[in-house]
Structure 1
């Protein structure tokens, strides 16, 4: 799957100044940076709309007219979990894409921007998942977590028994092995927990035999928040996991880009407990 953007008007000029390989990298970085800035501007406009928790709606009622229904496989609810200093508004486009392709139960959870501990956030997330399952009658859910949200969801699955509730966990730009970006940000305790070798990340390297959740990590080669970029990959011998490389976009674009949304839909529509998803075939390329 490949998506190409419009050619920049100064492409020929840049190609004359730089060697072709370096020019290609520089132009890709330039386009990714421009896209990140545009997404950030749009997200700042939407941010106020996502500050409050969304209204919970009951599960769709079953038909009562007695008409025969063709057997269909119910899709689990999808729970979306945002990243650091963010809120549910980051998922506006992804949510619309999922809804347009048959997901009737989609919910976003806001956690406090004052959250200082991944373990505490994971415990609160556990209660939310139980409430979703009770309200919808679904035994399991699928989860999509962006950045820190993916790490909170992974801790819940691995360390708090969440693998009984989470069928598939999709992470977008999540620092699974820790990121070294912006050392000065260490003043915030939750940032320290996202550093390589932190006690929280060390817990996630411990054995997790029999974990039933299927993990899929989308990571980008131009993710400026992941240092190194491979930090967003999952590498654990006990987990059923795959890493999908995304090229040409940055950290903020991961929950927004239509090609990534298409990849997420493929993963959620094909993943089964204990089975690899179709996302492994061919991967995902966004240029």
Structure 2
């Protein structure tokens, strides 16, 4: 399988224990730890509140590092706002040249009504349904040559409306996957959710 780069979401940190569980799931598919990368936005939970535009630069750095080390295109897996970071990199910063598949988990592709509670932060403002970032991603659309898998949950309490976690399905390179009745945070570590999107992680470029 190709290298994987994880991108955590708003307020989260790569060092939280659930990402360790996700990494173990990926190792069970055959990757070794050296092939698993993660975007490091900060050590302290609750402080990762910048714009996806800013974090997209960190995604670029980690993807380029993984590509240079393994000499093959990578799979991006972004949870929540991490999916917007990933898409901004792929679609606005030419990341489609190095990325094969983008998996998003509980990502508010069309914004979320709950973002009003975090409007005082750049990330919160960018997740409003009328933000410039959301409008740009919707208007420009997904990148050609990249496979997209949008995982959504029927019980996601933070993505409102729930359909916001889906991507337009009329594109041939887009698949929406119902991860089941799990909370916004459960979908990033439960094995049953992982099993529903694991098969879409590409094994060759």
Q: Give me the TM-score of the superposition, normalised by structure 2.
A: 0.88
Aligned to 1:166: 99
* SS at 2:100 equivalent: strand
Q: Which has the larger radius of gyration?
A: 1
Aligned to 2:180: 247
Aligned to 2:19: 91
Q: Of the candidates 103, 109, 112, which is equivalent to residue 39 of structure 2?
A: 109
Q: 1:239: Cα distance to partner?
A: 6.8
CA 1:197–1:101: 2 relative to 1, 3 Å: same
Equivalent residues, number: 197
CA 1:190–1:182: 2 relative to 1, 3 Å: closer
Aligned to 1:256: 189
CA 1:212–1:149: 2 relative to 1, 3 Å: same
List gaps (5 residues or longer) in structure 2: none
CA 1:249–1:114: 2 relative to 1, 3 Å: closer
CA 1:204–1:82: 2 relative to 1, 3 Å: same
Residues 142 and 167, structure 1, Cα contact 8 Å, conserved in 2: yes
Please give the per-residue CA displacement for 1:105-139, whole angstroms capped at 9, x wherever unaligned: 1112221334522112112211221122112222x
Q: Which runs of 4+ in 1 moved over 4 A?
A: 236-239
Aligned to 2:5: 79
Q: 1:262: Cα distance to partner?
A: 1.3
List gaps (5 residues or longer) in structure 1: 1-74, 274-287
Rounded Cα–Cα distance in structure 1 between residues aligned with 2:142 and 2:114: 32
CA 1:114–1:266: 2 relative to 1, 3 Å: closer
Residues 117 and 189, structure 1, Cα contact 8 Å, conserved in 2: yes
Aligned to 1:35: none
Q: Give me the TM-score of the superposition, normalised by structure 1.
A: 0.64
